[in-house]
Structure 1
Amino acid sequence: MEAAGGEENPDVHGAAAVAAAAAAEPSVSRQRQPAMKPVWTLLEEAAQMKTEGNAFYREKNIRSAIGRYHRALLVLRGLDSEVMTSVKGFGPETPALTPEQETLLRNTQVDCYNNLAACLLQRKSVDYARVREYSLRVLQWRPSDVKALYRAGVATLEMGNAETAKQYLMQACREQPNDANVRKHLQRAEEKLSRELQKEKAMYRGMFSSGLKSSSGEGINQTNRAGEGV
């Protein structure tokens, strides 16, 4: 994904690389490293970056908005127990979060991934695979998130899988039955499935018709040979 200042991807294993590098340093050098910022400070910095991203999005500055959301996610990555468990033993231990801190971390992550998907859908050339990826990340934590269900459905439909898209959009419609956009894309998915079914039926009819003609031709030839025998 393109972001302000170059490409920033919250999905790269940056935390593991930094931690491994720190482990390779001599112990004296590690002692001279500055202490990790307090958890609340990092959470507030990430929340502030998300807010700045929202402001850029409202201004239609999609590039800068994407950059802010990515930076927020990179900050949060170092606090996420689900991520840091895989690099345990390298570098300083990540402090355990309180329930309140964990809630703020997840809420900020959900908002950033949702907003990144929204940003990508505003581009002329949409990366639907990435839209779907970000939306599915949200659904891991919030299975009933309407925005993520809707965007996952739209992206999956554009990627050619109408059946799965219909499932996402039907769930979004159950959560928010009066949303015109959800209903519009659900109708698109159903129409695509109907066209695919008609094509499949036509193909089988053609195969069946060809089989009948072949069988009929063989019968005529057999009859002619029998007549010749008489």
Structure 2
Amino acid sequence: MHSTLVRSSKHAYVSKQHGHLHPLSLRDMEAKQHQIKSLKSYPETGGRSLAAAAGGGDGSGCRGGPVEMDMEAKIQKAIDFKLEGHRCYKEKKFREAIGKYHRALLQLKGVHVSDNTTGSEVNLLNQATAKLTEEQRSAVETTEIECYDSLTACLLQSELVNYERVKEYCLKVLSHQRDHFKAMYRAGIAFYHLGDYECALRYLREAKNREPTDTNVLRYIQLTEMKISKYGQRESGKETPANP
């Protein structure tokens, strides 16, 4: 026969089994109530809370489960690699610095998660989904911005500059921080050397709006305008038929 819960006139819970009433301990009552509540709240996870299903511990709402700890470790490792990159950059070890920044970014791969994660989206097999705290989210974004910004600085120190990569990294920085002066300026330089003078001028003018007296920005604006002027003259020369 099944054991059932009944309530006596003194409001104490007892267990009815084989026709006899046996008093339940406080711990037994709490355990049964918790089990019933969990089953009602999260039937799709077999009575486990969302935090427990995601690897977040005992379902009490406390952080510190394996997923959160792994996330925290990844973020901290990324910050450590970034700081090592800064040290290498100051020592003019640009190739080593680039390697450190890339390793920092690799640590952050997969850290980003959706704000609207639901129980059905939790991957119970690899437990790869977790919520980031505001502090963690801020640390991830700041680390990414600093790494991409520093990567462009390193690349511009190379003998043969990969301007395509410089452009890519600058645009990544600007996707996070639209008014980032160095990213605007370096994007302008990259577009200039890639021959896209219209885009170069746009970014350089945005940089000038931020720093109106920066001599490097003003020099590149002048160079870009000269290229556009030459290009315009060449195009107009093509369109004008030669005099007989």
TM over 0.5: yes
Relative distance call for 1:184 and 1:88 in structure 2 (3 A) is farther
SS at 1:93's partner residue?
Answer: coil
SS at 1:198's partner residue?
Answer: helix
Taking structure 2 as the reference length, what is the TM-score of the superposition?
A: 0.66
Relative distance call for 1:186 and 1:39 in structure 2 (3 A) is same
Greater relative CO, 1 or 2 (CA 8 Å, sep 6+): 1
Structure 1 residue 201: Cα displacement: 2.4
**Larger of the two Rg values belongs to structure:** 2
Assess if the C-alpha contact under 8 Å between 2:113 and 2:130 holds in 1: no
Q: How does 1:49-60 map to 2 (within 5 A)?
A: 49-60=81-92
1:180 equivalent in alignment to 2:215: yes
Relative distance call for 1:200 and 1:65 in structure 2 (3 A) is same
1:62 alignment counterpart: 94
Structure 1 residue 88: Cα displacement: 7.4
Q: How does 1:36-55 map to 2 (within 5 A)?
A: 36=67, 37-55=69-87
1:19 alignment counterpart: none
What letter corresponds to residue 76 of structure 2 in structure 1?
Answer: E
1:147 equivalent in alignment to 2:182: yes
Structure 1 residue 182: Cα displacement: 1.3
Structure 1 residue 197: Cα displacement: 1.3
Q: Mean Cα displacement is larger for which, 141-150 or 38-47?
A: 38-47
Q: Mean Cα displacement is larger for which, 44-53 or 103-112?
A: 44-53
1:8 alignment counterpart: none
Structure 1 residue 128: Cα displacement: 0.5
SS at 2:126's partner residue?
Answer: coil
Distance 1:137 1:123 in 2: 20
1:200 equivalent in alignment to 2:232: no
Q: How does 1:125-136 map to 2 (within 5 A)?
A: 125-136=160-171
2:144 alignment counterpart: 109
Taking structure 1 as the reference length, what is the TM-score of the superposition?
A: 0.70
Distance 2:127 2:221 in 1: 48
Distance 1:124 1:69 in 2: 19
What letter corresponds to residue 193 of structure 1 in structure 2?
Answer: I
2:12 alignment counterpart: none
What letter corresponds to residue 81 of structure 1 in structure 2?
Answer: V
Distance 2:172 2:122 in 1: 23
1:49-106 CA distances to partner (integer Å, 9 max, x unpaired)? 1111011011110111011100100111121227xx9x97472233211112111100
Which structure shows the bigger proportion of residues in helix conformation? 1
What letter corresponds to residue 108 of structure 2 in structure 1?
Answer: L
Distance 1:81 1:124 in 2: 38
Q: What is the total number of aligned residue pairs between the two structures?
A: 172
> RMSD in angstroms over aligned alpha carbons?
2.0
1:166 alignment counterpart: 201
SS at 1:81's partner residue?
Answer: coil
1:155-194 CA distances to partner (integer Å, 9 max, x unpaired)? 1110001011000110011011121111111111111101
Gaps of 5+ in 2: 1-65
